[in-house]
Amino acid sequence: MKNKFSFGIGCFHFGLKEQYQLEFKGSEYIRELRETLELISNVNNIEIYCDDRFKNFSIPITQELPNIQNGIGFFPKPSFMIIEFEVYIPFRIQSQLLQLKVSFLETFTEKFKISINYTYHLPVTFVEPLDPSEEATPSEAVGVVRKFLEHEFKNVKSDNIQFEFLGPSPFHADCYIYPEESDGKGEVDWKLKSEIFSQRGYDRMIFYFNSTQFMNAEEAKEKVFDEILNEIGFFYYIVQTDVERMNDWGKIQNLINQLIFIQRSKGIKAFFTKIFTLSKLIDETLTSLTEFESEELYFDNTNQKEYRDLFSMGEGCFQPYIDKEINNRIVYPTKEMSRLISFFESRRTKAVESLVVLIAAILGGGVGALLIILLTE
């Protein structure tokens, strides 16, 4: 058994296509997923582990299914599942996928092992370069495998299964597992240690295992994966909620742009558009903004609670990356946007008042008062 490993981290998932209109059954999903992977000639050694609860799970599909890439969850979401397989990707194909010359590739192998592990939050994928000729850059292996699966799933004839991923690469670290020999002078009861070497591009993260506690690196690897899964699953959850926030804010920005366009319009038609159309658009924008602020509070409270639960026993290996992701979250200008909406409403109200004054002058005060009531509803 070799005594060193390298692995990259991603977030892969096999979801269901939008046109899926059947009753979902866990057992059928597993069967079709296996059959779909077997259609890819370069994929072998497929193993799918899950509990009986998922195999027996069934539910009618009555609404649009989420896609992990869009920041709105994912489906199916098993409580426990591990999908493992190996894939052979010739250097020539790797070169085409990454648009690099073969001599510039740093995977140093054509064989990769993929392990997709479902955590409480999101699936975590480990990509391991198998028997590389030199020390590989595993983050590049993640990119190669992702692009390969993305390409192959566009060609395989699966009625329901599609390949999904979060990223392309929100986690920026190359991970390695090395033995650390004990000299007999220090403590010998420790099992694993980790160290991060920050550098330009992707960090280098090394997990050292105590050779007196593990028979080999393969055994240590299983322990490393088990210890870091929940941390990385939470990391990807934060990433996905950021994607959702970005998409929701984009919708609000589009509504604001519509308001600005109407407000800038000139002429009689534009004047009446401001009076009779602007109110509905303002209400829609304000409602969307209120929903956004409510979701912000929910995500903040949830993240704080789960962060405390995750690290209640001490600092985790990937805590610096989680801290960075939380601290670097975009703060959207919700208060400023609310003031802008109020500005549009005040301009609309003034336009209504101007019209009422004009009509009242022509038709008389009683009719004008009635119009005030109707137009300001």
Is 108 in contact with 129 (CB distance < 8 Å)?
A: yes
Q: Are residues 250 and 161 in the same domain?
A: no
In Å, what is the CA distance from 41 to each residue of 49, 87, 373? Answer: 22, 9, 71
pLDDT, tens digit (0-9, with 9 covering 90-100), for 20-33 = 667 899 999 999 99
Is 282 in contact with 346 (CB distance < 8 Å)?
A: no
Return the pLDDT at 1: 45
Give mean pLDDT, residues 101-106: 94
Q: Are residues 12 and 138 in the same domain?
A: yes
Q: Are residues 38 and 178 in the same domain?
A: yes
Does residue 367 carry a pLDDT above 70? no
Q: Are residues 256 and 223 in the same domain?
A: no
Q: Are residues 51 and 198 in the same domain?
A: yes
In Å, what is the CA distance from 319 to each residue of 124, 153, 184, 303, 324? Answer: 16, 34, 31, 13, 8
pTM, two decimals, is 0.86
Of 173, 204, 237, the domain-final residue: 237
Q: Are residues 73 and 217 in the same domain?
A: yes
pLDDT, tens digit (0-9, with 9 covering 90-100), for 126-182 = 999 999 999 999 999 999 999 999 999 988 878 889 999 997 667 788 999 998 865
Instruction: Determine phi and psi for 354, rounding to 5 degrees.
Output: -65, -40
240 burial class (0-12, 13-18, 19+ CB within 10 angstroms)?
buried
Domain that holds residue 292: 246-375
Q: Are residues 256 and 218 in the same domain?
A: no
Q: Are residues 44 and 83 in the same domain?
A: yes
Cα–Cα distance measured from residue 230 to residue 262, given in angstroms and rounded to the nearest whole number: 48
Q: Are residues 66 and 149 in the same domain?
A: yes
Of 211, 237, 263, the domain-final residue: 237
Q: Are residues 19 and 73 in the same domain?
A: yes
| 3-state SS track over the chain | CCCCEEEEEECEEEEECCCCCCEEEHHHHHHHHHHHHHCCCCEEEEEEEECHHHHCCEEECCCCCCCHHHCCCCCCCCCCEEEEEEEECCHHHHHHHHCCCHHHCCCCCCEEEEEEEECCCCEEEEEEECCCCCCCCHHHHHHHHHHHHHHHHHHCCCCCEEEEECCCCCCCEEEEEEEECCCCCCCCCCCEEEEEECCCCCEEEEEEEECCCCCCHHHHHHHHHHHHHHHHHHHHHHHHHHHHHHHHHHHHHHHHHHHHHHHHCCCHHHHHHHHHCHHHHHHHHHHHHHHHHHHHHHHHHHHHHHHHHHCCCCCCCCHHHHHHHHHCCCCCCHHHHHHHHHHHHHHHHHHHHHHHHHHHHHHCHHHHHHHHHHHCC
Structural domains in the chain (count): 2
pLDDT, tens digit (0-9, with 9 covering 90-100), for 194-238 = 889 888 888 999 999 888 888 888 888 999 999 999 999 999 999
Does residue 368 carry a pLDDT above 70? no
Of 237, 256, 280, the domain-final residue: 237
Q: Are residues 256 and 139 in the same domain?
A: no
pLDDT, tens digit (0-9, with 9 covering 90-100), for 15-68 = 998 766 678 999 999 999 999 999 998 999 999 999 999 999 999 888 888 889
Q: Are residues 105 and 252 in the same domain?
A: no
